[in-house]
């Protein structure tokens, strides 16, 4: 039995906390700690009364000393970081100082540069090894389950994987003209950046949203998919031996893209600070403040997500294609944990990753991406805790 410190109290944190409470035999006690205490307390009040003890704390996770001090008081076995990517390094520093295992769902991004890559966190490998603690990076859905799917395909279905297409489709409708399904600032930074894909040992950049095709998804139908850069390309290119091409695709509706284009054209997606009535503000942060809170979309969202990977390679000397995916229903997620499917598909794998470490199945000193571990126990837990896999051995292939 273990104690987990959950940092963040947004959409994903809410799901992680609910899911931990569904597994009291592992999570004996959780503490929800975030910048706004009232959000932590609201979650605590919702979850109190079950077998898992729940507490709430105010925490500024940009302040390493504050994180160290809370870890020393609560004494968790693991820190589950579901705040924002900006806090990854301060929280990792606090885990090092207190010799506590660490997990997150998104790689570090500096606040003032829209650039995300693993280098900053991979630089902690030696220090985590020496401290004898585990850091599991990117244990959400994408990154996260997509990496576990890759390890599973490699272990059970292929001798060699040559191409990976990661397909992330959201056919949910929340009824707002424009809203993002997870943190708007992080989401818009990701989409307005250049796209890129991995081919033959290098990354090839594309103009933002310039590569598009249609794909007919099982259970949700035909959608436009756009090529984006995504963090798991970086780790899969290293960890899936022999892979030649990896691409990441996400669906967007025309309505969403039109709103985004207008916001971009008027300067609202910029991360450069500007003077406004005597103080400095960052337009994108102001935009986040006026957009609907992703944590509030759950009650309004209908429809399904379909996220998965198509692999092409060889098995026993013959070409083989394999599609593995999960379909998740927004309304069912809301009924179960009070959130929409994007937070759900991220929060469930975060809980499972923590469970893998706490039960010793994925426990080893160092800094790791999910595809570096045995995928089987994680895959079994996905089936058990709400994200069952679907498989297709004759998929339609993206162009
Ligand atoms: P939200 O914006 O809903 O929640 C973020 C939370 O972090 C908020 O409670 C916020 O506090 C808190 N926070 C921000 N700064 C600090 C700080 N300095 N100290 C303490 N707490 C802080 O985001 P989501 O829940 O949608 O996303 C959480 C994470 O999950 C993000 O990193 C996102 O990139 C990642 N993600 C990963 C996915 C995957 O599949 N791998 C998919 C979707 C999201 P406050 O309430 O005060 O603002």
Output the domain CATH number for residue 50: 3.40.50.720
pTM: 0.95
Main-chain phi, psi angles of 320, to 5 degrees: -145, 140
User: Same domain for 329 and 244?
Assistant: yes
User: Same domain for 180 and 291?
Assistant: yes
Q: Which residues contact 132 (CB under 8 A, 6 or more apart)?
A: 99, 365
Q: How far is the CA of 108 from the centre of ligand 1 (A)?
A: 12
Determine, yes or no, domain membership for 359: no
Nearest-angstrom CA–CA distance, 182 and 150: 24
| Interhelix angle 341-358/145-156, nearest 10 degrees | 60
Which atom of ligand 1 is nearest to 84's Cα?
32
Cβ(35) – ligand 1 distance below 6 Å = yes
> Which of 137, 162, 188 represents a domain boundary (last residue)?
137
Nearest-angstrom CA–CA distance, 342 and 304: 10
Instruction: State which residues form the domain around 66.
Output: 2-137
pLDDT at 115 over 80: no
User: Same domain for 130 and 30?
Assistant: yes
Determine, yes or no, domain membership for 352: no
- Position 186 scores a pLDDT of 84
Q: What average pLDDT does the structure give for the chain?
A: 96
Which whole number is the average pLDDT over 330-353?
96
pLDDT at 145 over 90: yes
Which atom of ligand 1 is nearest to 13's Cα?
25
Higher pLDDT, 33 or 191: 33
Contact 147, 201 (CB under 8 A): no
Candidate of 9, 84, 289 to mutate for ligand 1, largest count of ligand atoms within 8 Å of Cβ: 84
Closest CA to 121 of 280, 234, 287, 8: 234
Which phi-psi region, left, alpha or beta, contains residue 281 (left: φ > 0; alpha: ψ -120 to 50)?
beta
The widest CA-to-CA distance across the chain, in whole angstroms, is 68
Environment class of 372 (CB within 10 Å of its CB; exposed 0-12, middle 13-18, buried 19+)? middle
Cβ(140) – ligand 1 distance below 6 Å = yes
> What's the domain count of the chain?
2
Q: How far is the CA of 10 from the centre of ligand 1 (A)?
A: 6
Cβ(105) – ligand 1 distance below 6 Å = yes
> Which of 93, 121, 137 represents a domain boundary (last residue)?
137
> Which of 137, 160, 176 represents a domain boundary (last residue)?
137
- Could you tell me what percent of the chain has a pLDDT over 70? 100
Chain centroid to Cα 91, Å, comes to 17
Main-chain phi, psi angles of 304, to 5 degrees: -130, 160
- Position 182 scores a pLDDT of 81
Output the domain CATH number for residue 222: 3.30.360.10
């Amino acid at each position: 039995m273990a104690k987990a410190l959950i940092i963040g109290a947004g959409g994903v944190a809410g799901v992680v906390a609910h899911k931990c409470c569904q597994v009291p035999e592992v999570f004996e006690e959780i503490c929800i700690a975030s910048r706004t205490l009232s959000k932590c307390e609201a979650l605590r009040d919702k979850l109190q009364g079950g077998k898992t003890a729940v507490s709430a704390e105010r925490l500024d996770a940009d302040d390493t000393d504050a994180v160290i001090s809370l870890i020393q008081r609560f004494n968790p076995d693991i820190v589950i970081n579901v705040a924002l990517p900006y806090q990854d390094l301060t929280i990792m520093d606090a885990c090092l100082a207190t010799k506590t295992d660490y997990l997150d769902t998104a790689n570090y991004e500096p606040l003032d540069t829209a650039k995300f890559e693993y280098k900053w966190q991979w630089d902690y490998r030696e220090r985590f090894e020496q401290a004898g603690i585990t850091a599991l990076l990117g244990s959400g859905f994408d990154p996260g389950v997509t990496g576990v799917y890759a390890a599973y395909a490699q272990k059970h279905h292929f001798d060699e994987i040559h191409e990976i297409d990661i397909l992330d489709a959201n056919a949910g409708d929340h009824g707002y003209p424009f809203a993002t399904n997870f943190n708007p600032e992080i989401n818009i930074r990701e989409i307005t950046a250049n796209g890129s894909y991995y081919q033959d040992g290098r990354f090839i950049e594309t103009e933002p949203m310039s590569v598009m095709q249609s794909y007919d998804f099982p259970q949700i139908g035909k959608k436009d998919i756009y090529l984006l850069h995504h963090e798991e390309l970086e780790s899969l290119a290293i960890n899936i031996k022999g892979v030649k091409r990896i691409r990441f695709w996400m669906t967007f509706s025309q309505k969403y893209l039109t709103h985004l284009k207008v916001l971009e054209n008027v300067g609202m997606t910029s991360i450069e600070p500007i003077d406004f009535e005597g103080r400095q503000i960052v337009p994108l942060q102001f935009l986040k403040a006026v957009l609907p809170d992703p944590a509030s979309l759950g009650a309004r969202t209908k429809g399904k997500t379909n996220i998965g990977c198509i692999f092409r390679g060889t098995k026993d000397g013959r070409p083989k294609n394999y599609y593995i995916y999960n379909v998740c229903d927004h309304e069912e997620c809301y009924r179960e944990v009070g959130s929409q499917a994007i937070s759900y598909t991220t929060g469930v794998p975060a809980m499972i990753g923590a469970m893998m470490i706490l039960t010793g199945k994925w426990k080893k000193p160092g800094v790791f991406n999910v595809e570096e571990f045995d995928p089987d126990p994680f895959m079994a837990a996905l089936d058990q805790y709400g994200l069952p896999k679907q498989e297709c051995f004759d998929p339609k292939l993206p162009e």
